[in-house]
Amino acid sequence: MQRSGASMRKHHPPKLSDADLNKRLNKRNYFDQRIELQTRLARIQQAFLFHGIKGVLVFEGWDAAGKGGTIRRISQALDPRSFKVWPIGAPRNYYLNRHYLLRFWERLPPSGAISAFDRSWYGRVLVERIEKLTPETRWRAAYQEINDFERMLVDDGTRIVKLFFHISQEEQMRRFTERLTNPMKRWKLTYEDFRNREKWDVAEVAVDEMLARTSTEIAPWHVIPSNNKKYARIAAMKAIVEAFSQGVDLNPQHLDRRTLEAAGAALDVDQSLIDSLRARTE
Architecture of domain 16-251: 3-Layer(aba) Sandwich (3.40)
Q: Domain locations in the chain?
A: 16-251, 254-282
Four-CA torsion 249, 4, 141, 60, nearest 10 degrees: -70
DSSP track, 48-84: HHHHT-EEEEEEEESTTSSHHHHHHHHHTTS-GGGEE
**254, 38 in Cβ contact below 8 A?**
no
**240, 161 in Cβ contact below 8 A?**
yes
Q: What is the pLDDT of residue 146?
A: 99
The model's pLDDT over 212-245, given as tens digits with 9 standing for 90+, comes to: 999 999 999 999 999 999 999 999 999 999 999 9
| For residues 90-112, average pLDDT | 96
- At residue 6 the predicted structure's pLDDT band, cuts being 50, 70 and 90, is very low
The Cα–Cα gap between 169 and 166 comes to 10
In the chain, the percentage of residues whose pLDDT exceeds 90 is 84
Instruction: Output the pTM of the full model.
Output: 0.91
